[in-house]
Amino acid sequence: MSITVKTGKTTSDYFAVTKTVTDETERTISLVYPCDMLSPTVSIKGGRIDANYLTGLFGRKYWITNQTVDKGITYLHCNVDAWSSWSENIYGKNQFVIRSETQGNPNINDTLFPSTSEPISQTSKGTLITSKATLVIGVI
């Protein structure tokens, strides 16, 4: 099965959502099976190509991580560029981060982070309508 994609060069940062790609060339490729959508290998007839970026495969964008040539066929080993591939889902979104490597959010009960302070409790005697009860109020 032949698929038309574009290959090119980018010097954009790995984590940049929008990449600048130059020297784009349209190419016809074939998938190498078994095929992994996140790390596919594709083949192109001809020798080594001068590119490090591939677009148009599975509607995603890929880094070309390695090239091998065997008997006139070039194999491009790729890894998905998640930042650019899903940029439409990243831009314009408000996210509430509840966990990070360095700190927790004290307003959210997160059992993976230990409490940063000891619980404070206060006990007081009170009367509820017709019976007496002890109320315990706890704040963490």
**pLDDT, position 140:** 46
Share of the chain above pLDDT 70, in %: 64
Span 105-136, pLDDT tens digits: 666 666 665 666 665 555 556 555 555 555 55
Average pLDDT, the chain: 79
Q: Which segment of 49-53, 85-89, 106-110, 130-134 scores lowest on mean pLDDT?
A: 130-134
Is 46 within a domain?
yes
DSSP string, 4-32: EEEEEEE-S-TT-SS--EEEEEEEEEEEP
Please tell me the distance from the alpha carbon of residue 41 to that of residue 74, in angstroms, as a whole number: 10
Distance CA 91, CA 32 (A): 33
**133: in domain:** no
Across the range 64-74, mean pLDDT stands at 93
Give the residues across from 41 on adjacent strands.
77
Query: Among 5-14, 44-53, 68-77, 89-98, whose mean pLDDT is lowest?
Result: 89-98
- C-alpha 60/C-alpha 58 separation (Å) is 5
- Residue whose token pair is 């090119």: 8
Confidence of residue 84 (pLDDT cuts 50, 70, 90): confident
The answer to whether residue 83 sits within a structural domain is: yes
Q: Determine the pLDDT at residue 135.
A: 52
Query: What pLDDT, on the 0 to 100 scale, is given for residue 57?
Result: 93
Residue 114 lies in a domain: no
Place of tokens 């993976």: 112
- Count CB neighbours of 6 within 10 A: 16
In degrees and rounded to multiples of 5, residue 89 shows phi and psi of -85, -15
In a domain, 35, yes or no: yes
Q: What is the identity of the amino acid at 72? A: G
Domain that holds residue 75: 2-90
Does 109 fall in a domain?
Answer: no
Q: How many domains does the chain have?
A: 1
